[in-house]
């Protein structure tokens, strides 16, 4: 694997930033520019939309406050998990069967978009197929079976149930009583993916400016976006900042909460050991409400994530939060060194369904993928691009899903949400 582990200024000190294939720093915006579309945020949503629009022939400028993939897009677990943070049965009960059917039609598309772009643009991002959902209890196994039946109604035949005796084909751990595999799941180096997609945007004439924080957004008939040293005038603006909005567009941020998740990466392990722990090289996530997720990296590290911090607060000791959970799963790693530990924020909505819509006739937005961002950001970025090209049908489905502010306002939304998570976590521990 042709990678150089090293410094990557402007990024958090993650394994992804250190091992990224492309460490180029793009220039900051200076002066006044014009474009068909200006996009705020160079994460998966913004870059996915930019690529969709650039492929269609639009002139595109992307403004990023820090570095491409600085937020959740470059810090997540790197897992391609199909679907949404709420299952299709819940969506049907909340929004009706017709809209659930439409979302079901799109539910595999995010992963397909990733694979298509990796192939089309030759993006090197360590793509591996296959995902395993691990169950601690018979109740969780039954619930997975119900999810599988629902998915099959929507045309997803890639899910297979796994018995307790078969678990060791996917993960060598004694904690699980069964589970389910998704052959259309998978894993990637996420920062390499978004950087590869950004390079594809640039190859089509799009321009990306880093270290260009937006300080003013005009939503009028001729919108403009202002940074400290420059301005972009455009026909349309897309707001794709997710959990890193920094006070921009309060009408969006009041309906989402930044939530931190913690990840760590071990030192490179002996190839025989890592293959014994994860023999199929599938990514794994468990079925608890506050779940653990882990996978192999291309250089034989174990990347292990979990934990949650409502409001985006980071724990004082990242390794101290995650390592005990890793050792519950793999006690044989007790002497293994942890090379990297980091945290990153994702945007959570009250409904756990992404919030997509308009601030005006010229300013569109998408955020709040609620922990399922790798696939849904690619889907929704594409849908934003379609909408600006006059194809509104899929955008209209998503924008019709009502979003609500968190109860308790800014002061109480964190403790109330944390209380709910504690309750569901207690139910997981009790197996009810």
Query: How many Å apart are CA 274 and CA 297, to the nearest integer?
Result: 10
Q: What is the mean pLDDT of residues 348-372?
A: 91
**pLDDT for 37:** 98
Split at pLDDT 50, 70, 90, the class of 6 is confident
Where residue 230 falls (left for φ over 0; alpha for ψ -120 to 50; beta otherwise) is beta
What pLDDT shows up at residue 416? 41
Cα(264)–Cα(257) distance, integer angstroms: 23
Average pLDDT for 213-227: 97
What is the tally of helices (H) and strands (E) in the chain? 13, 17
> Residue 297: which of 172, 187, 175 has the closest Cα?
187
Task: Give 279-296 as a 3 state SS string.
Answer: CCCCEEEECCCCCCEEEE
Tell me the three state secondary structure of residue 105: helix
Tell me which residue of 345, 379, 360, 344 sits closest to 252, measured CA to CA. 360
Q: What is the pTM of this model?
A: 0.92
Other Cβ atoms within 10 Å of 321 Cβ, number: 19
Residues 160, 285: Cα–Cα separation, whole Å:
15
Using 50, 70 and 90 to split pLDDT, how confident is the model at 379? very high
Give the mean pLDDT of the chain.
90
| Structural contact between residues 156 and 375, judged by C-beta atoms closer than 8 angstroms | no
What would the two tokens of residue 23 be? 């460490």
- pLDDT of amino acid 4: 60
Structure tokens at 66: 């820090």
pLDDT at 431: 53
Is residue 60 over pLDDT 50? yes
User: In angstroms, rounded to a whole number, what is the distance separating the alpha carbons of residues 212 and 229?
Assistant: 8
Report which of residues 335 and 344 the model is more confident about: 335
How far, rounded to the nearest angstrom, does the alpha carbon of residue 87 sit from its chain's CA centroid? 17
Say what the pLDDT of residue 156 is.
86
Residue 304 parent element (H or E): strand 302-310
What's the pLDDT score for residue 409?
A: 52
- Both tokens of 306, joined, read 């979990």
- Band of the pLDDT at 227, cuts 50, 70, 90? very high
Question: Taking 80 as the threshold, does the pLDDT of residue 417 lie above it?
Answer: no
Place of tokens 């993006």: 123
In this structure, the number of other CB atoms found within 10 A of the CB of residue 106 comes to: 19
pLDDT, residue 315, reads 65
């Amino acid at each position: 694997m042709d990678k150089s582990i090293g410094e990557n200024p402007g990024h958090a000190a993650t394994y992804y930033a250190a091992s990224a294939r492309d460490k180029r720093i793009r220039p900051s915006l200076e002066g006044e520019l014009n474009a068909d579309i200006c996009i705020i945020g160079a994460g998966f949503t913004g870059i996915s939309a930019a690529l969709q629009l650039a492929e269609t022939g639009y002139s595109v400028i992307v403004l990023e406050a820090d570095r491409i993939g600085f937020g959740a897009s470059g810090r997540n677990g790197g897992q391609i998990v199909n679907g949404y943070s709420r299952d299709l049965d819940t969506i049907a009960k909340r929004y009706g069967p017709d809209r659930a059917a439409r979302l079901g039609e799109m539910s595999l598309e995010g992963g397909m978009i990733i694979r298509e772009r990796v192939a089309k643009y030759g993006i090197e991002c360590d793509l591996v197929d296959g995902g395993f959902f691990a169950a601690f209890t018979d109740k969780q196994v039954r619930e997975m079976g119900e999810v599988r039946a629902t998915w099959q109604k929507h045309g997803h035949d890639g899910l297979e149930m796994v018995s307790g005796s078969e678990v060791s084909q996917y993960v060598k751990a004694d904690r699980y009583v069964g589970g389910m595999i998704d052959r259309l799941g998978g894993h990637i180096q996420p920062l390499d993916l978004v950087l590869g997609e950004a390079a594809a945007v640039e190859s089509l004439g799009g321009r990306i400016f880093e270290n260009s924080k937006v300080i003013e957004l005009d939503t009028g008939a001729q919108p403009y976006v202002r940074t400290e040293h420059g301005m972009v005038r455009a026909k349309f603006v897309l707001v794709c900042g997710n959990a890193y909005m920094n006070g921009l567009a309060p009408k969006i941020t009041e309906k989402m909460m930044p939530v931190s998740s913690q990840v760590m990466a071990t030192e490179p392990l002996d190839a025989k050991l890592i293959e014994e722990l994860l023999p199929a090289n599938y990514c794994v996530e468990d079925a608890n409400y506050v779940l653990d997720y882990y996978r192999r990296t291309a250089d034989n590290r174990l990347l292990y994530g979990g934990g949650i911090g409502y409001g985006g607060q980071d724990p004082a000791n990242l390794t101290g939060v995650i390592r005990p959970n890793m050792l519950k799963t793999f006690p044989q790693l007790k002497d293994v060194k942890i090379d990297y530990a980091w945290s990153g924020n994702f945007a959570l909505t009250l409904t756990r369904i992404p919030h997509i819509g308009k601030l005006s006739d010229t300013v569109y937005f998408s955020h709040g993928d609620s922990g399922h961002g790798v696939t849904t950001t690619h889907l929704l970025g594409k849908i934003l691009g379609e909408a600006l090209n006059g194809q509104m049908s899929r955008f209209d489905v998503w924008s019709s899903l009502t979003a609500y502010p968190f109860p308790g306002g800014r002061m109480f939304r964190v403790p109330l949400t944390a209380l709910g998570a504690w309750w569901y976590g207690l139910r997981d521990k009790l197996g009810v």
